[in-house]
Amino acid sequence: MFVLVTVLLDTMGFGVIIPVTPELIMELTGEGLSRAAVYGGWLGFVFAALQFLFAPVLGGLSDRFGRRPVLLYAVASLGIDYVLMGLAPTITWLFIGRGISGIAGASFTPAHAYIADVSPPEKRAQSFGFMGAAFGAGFILGPALGGLLGELGPRAPFFAAAALSLINFVYGYFVLPETLDPSKRRAFDWRRANPVGTLVQIRKHPLVLGLLASLFLWQVAHQVMPSVWSFYTMYKFGWTEAVVGGSLAFVGLIMVVGQSTLPRVVIPHLGEQRTALIGLAVGAAGYAGYAFASQGWMMFAWLFTWLLGALVMPSTQALMSRRVTADSQGELQGAVAGLHSLSSIIAPPLMTQMFRRFTAADAAVHFPGAPFLLSSALALGAMALFWKAGRSETRPESAP
């Protein structure tokens, strides 16, 4: 339960600050929404980059010193960091806080290791399913809570997140047992804590390179949601933090429903390839719809495209898993995770810089929806790559 709550709070912590980030940046910098979006993009970059770098480090440290101290360190760090960001007097302090959040938020690596330690082999899939549910719940509850508390001021959600994390730390300090026996621990090795290694493994699987490239473009396109959504809807429609948070919670709810129910119905009927192609096409239409929406209610209407857009990832992963041998499945999933992290690093500055360029006072063309139109183009590019790669024979590369 402690590990599930930790994962839930980590995910909530990412979502709880999205609705209030624009106002807090404007308060600290004195800039308008257009310029504040650029700061927001670099804040996202710092968070994702440090999480990418430190996820394997925390995993290696948990193999050396045990799961308990690493998990407790991460939870305590998040609690202290939320206080730091809530009190931030300058934008520099906010950047420092997001960096610490990225490092501490990499706790999902030792959390998964802890679950593997305490779950018998026949129940690990069920346990990891609970972890997935905690992630999904965090992406729903985080923005909703941040939007509601944002009505009290842009700093209130940070203090609420800090209280939750520190309460969880106290609970874990007294009840969380160690699961890794000292005799099974290994020395820490920096070479094994190398996040780039997962990306290097991609070249070992030529049959899935096209699908991985398609998935990467789709993931970059998806990053427009956490990067620009708050700034765009506040700028164009005058949404409050509560409306922004509610809309992002609605996105999370739609994706959870889509991923938990539709794959069992749609994929067996259409197959992985057609399901993914339809999801990419519908997703591209949705991004274009956001870009050209003239009324706030249209944004909510286009959110329903995520019912099918949410099927792109599971259908693509299923198709790729049938193109590699049984002893390469871990490498494949590591490559997918590495590409997702890479998209989380490069996309926030890209999307927010584009928003700034097309909303600046001296912009040659005033078009706030430009980042969403870019995401639509990326989704269409992903669709083209997927269609080309999908025609390849779907057999493993070699015998197991």
HEC string of 215-253 equals: HHHHHHHHCHHHHHHHHHHHHHHCCCHHHHHHHHHHHHH
Tokens encoding 148? 């509601």
The number of folded domains in the chain is 2
**pLDDT band of 362, cuts 50, 70, 90:** confident
Residues 6 or more apart whose CB falls under 8 angstroms from that of 268 comprise: none
Do 160 and 48 lie in one domain? The reply is yes
The CATH number of whichever domain residue 86 belongs to comes to 1.20.1250.20
Residue 235, domain member (yes or no): yes
Domain boundary among 123, 148, 175: 175
**pLDDT band of 399, cuts 50, 70, 90:** very low
Domain boundary among 143, 175, 207: 175
What are the tens digits of pLDDT across the range 124-169? 656 766 776 777 788 888 888 888 888 888 999 999 888 888 888 8
Residue 94, domain member (yes or no): yes
Separation between Cα atoms, residue 94 and residue 72, nearest integer Å:
23
Most confident of 115-124, 164-173, 203-212, 376-385: 376-385
Do 398 and 253 lie in one domain? The reply is yes
Most confident of 37-41, 137-141, 261-265, 272-276: 37-41
Do 289 and 370 lie in one domain? The reply is yes
Exposure of 250 in the CB half-sphere (CA atoms within 13 A): 15
Looking up tokens 């049938």 gives 322
Residue 56, domain member (yes or no): yes
Domain boundary among 119, 141, 175: 175
Residue 203, domain member (yes or no): yes
Per the rule left: phi > 0, alpha: psi between -120 and 50, beta: everything else, 273 is: alpha
Do 380 and 318 lie in one domain? The reply is yes
Domain of 156 in residue numbering reads as 1-175
Q: For residue 377, which of 285, 293, 308, 258 has the smallest C-alpha distance?
A: 285
pTM: 0.80
pLDDT value at 278 more than 80 = yes
Do 147 and 219 lie in one domain? The reply is no
Supply the mean pLDDT for the chain. 84
Residue 180, domain member (yes or no): no
Do 127 and 243 lie in one domain? The reply is no
% residues pLDDT > 90 (the chain): 34
Residue 187, domain member (yes or no): no
Do 33 and 166 lie in one domain? The reply is yes
Do 218 and 310 lie in one domain? The reply is yes
Residue 281, domain member (yes or no): yes
Do 67 and 164 lie in one domain? The reply is yes
Do 274 and 161 lie in one domain? The reply is no
**Sequence letter at residue 91:** I
Phi, psi of 184 (to 5 degrees): -100, 5
Residue 348, domain member (yes or no): yes
pLDDT value at 239 more than 90 = yes
Do 4 and 147 lie in one domain? The reply is yes
Q: For residue 3, which of 124, 176, 136 has the smallest C-alpha distance?
A: 176
Do 6 and 143 lie in one domain? The reply is yes
